[in-house]
Amino acid sequence: MDRYAQMFQRLESEKQGAFVPFVTLGDPDVETSLAVVEALVAGGADALELGIPFSDPIADGPTIQKSAIRALEKGVTPRDCLAIIHRIREHHKDIPIGLLLYSNLVLAPGIDEFYRLAAEAGVDSILIADVPIREAEPFMAAAKTHGIQQILIAPPNASQATLQQIGELSSGYTYLLGRAGVTGTETAADMPASDLISKLHDVGAAKPILGFGISKPEQVKAAIEAGAAGAIAGSATVKIIEQHLDDKAMMLTRLSEFVAGMKSATNK
């Protein structure tokens, strides 16, 4: 059984939803980034969603843009990021690790080669922010070859045809968009998303985890009450890094506290 399936099975028996924090790898530098991810796991993260910094992140708001710039200014490369994941995987054999990035970084080494390297590093899933389902075929083929789950996005405006495709093609989990727009806590997720969640259930999609605009435990609770299998918080997590760049010990403490607070809201 794959790591996401194991996680969902465990959470079901514990009557909980998943809490999944997102951070950009290499932010603010490679060594601190490793400690950041350890702090997220220590705080109780059920899975990890990790970004590779890209120069032109069109789906991201200011907070995650800045995190990418911090990492890029330190010269962090996709290979550095996969090396960080490799080290995390050595310590944490069971936690599902998802990669979130943009298509040009996958194309640069070649699609198949990128997926091979990701699998080797211990990645479970890949979500490419600028690859919609209709362009996904070569990426999904590489994912299949290398045993990686391609994560699909279900936006609030999805057509029935798109939902059907998600039903047929999704694996791992379905990234449920809480609202339109880009990442960021400036605009909160629309609640409840129960309508879209039940449609996804009807088409047989992989379990939905709600993201975009999630920053508070109440939102995690509401997402799970609406039928989501969990919630992802990206910008809210990254903001903690940004606010404590001068005090790394405090950064790590606050990150663990934040994750613990969000996790505590996942009880059904």
Partner 1 sequence: MSKQLSTKFGDYGGMYVPELLIPALDQLEQAFLNAQQDPDFQQEFKSLLNDYAGRPTPLTKTRNLVSNPKVTLYLKREDLLHGGAHKTNQVLGQALLTKRMGKTQVIAETGAGQHGVATALACALLGLKARIYMGAKDVERQAPNVFRMRLMGAEVIPVNAGSGTLKDAVNEALRDWSASYQDAHYLLGTAAGPHPFPTIVREFHKMIGEEIRAQILEKEGRLPDALVACVGGGSNAIGAFADFIDTPEVQLIGVEPAGKGLHTHEHGAAIAKGTKGILHGAYSYIMQTPEGQIEESYSVSAGLDYPAVGPQHAYLHDIGRATYESVTDEEALNAFQLLARKEGIIPALESSHALAHALNMADAAEEETLIVVNLSGRGDKDLAHVQQFLKGDTHNG
Catalog residues that contact partner 1 under the rule CB under 8 A: 54-62, 65, 72, 77-79, 102-108, 129-135, 152-155, 157-159, 162, 177, 180-182, 187
Catalytic residue among 49, 130, 195, 225: 49
Scanning the structure block, which residue is given the tokens 């996401």?
Answer: 4
Task: Classify residue 53 by its DSSP letter.
Answer: P
In the chain, the amino acid numbered 87 is R
CB of 56 to partner 1, least distance (A): 5
Give the Cβ contact number of residue 12 at 10 Å. 13
Least CB distance from residue 118 to partner 1, whole Å?
A: 14
- Which CB atom, from 45 or from 52, has the smaller least distance to partner 1? 52
Active-site hit among 14, 29, 38, 60: 60
Reduce the DSSP state of residue 209 to 3 states and report it: strand
Q: Please tell me the distance from the alpha carbon of residue 125 to that of residue 7, in angstroms, as a whole number.
A: 14
Residue 137 annotated in active site: no
Q: Considering the complex, what minimum distance in angstroms separates the CB of residue 200 from partner 1?
A: 13
Question: Would you say 5 or 117 has its CB closer to partner 1?
Answer: 117
Q: Shortest approach of partner 1 to residue 91 CB, angstroms? A: 26
Q: Which is nearer to partner 1, 13 or 159 (CB)?
A: 159
Alpha-helix runs per DSSP H in the chain: 3-13, 30-42, 62-73, 78-91, 103-107, 111-121, 137-145, 160-169, 194-202, 217-225, 235-243, 248-263
Nearer to partner 1, 177 or 240 (CB): 177
User: Does the annotation count 60 as an active-site position?
Assistant: yes
Nearest-10 Cα torsion for 151, 153, 159, 165: 0
The residues that are catalytic are 49, 60
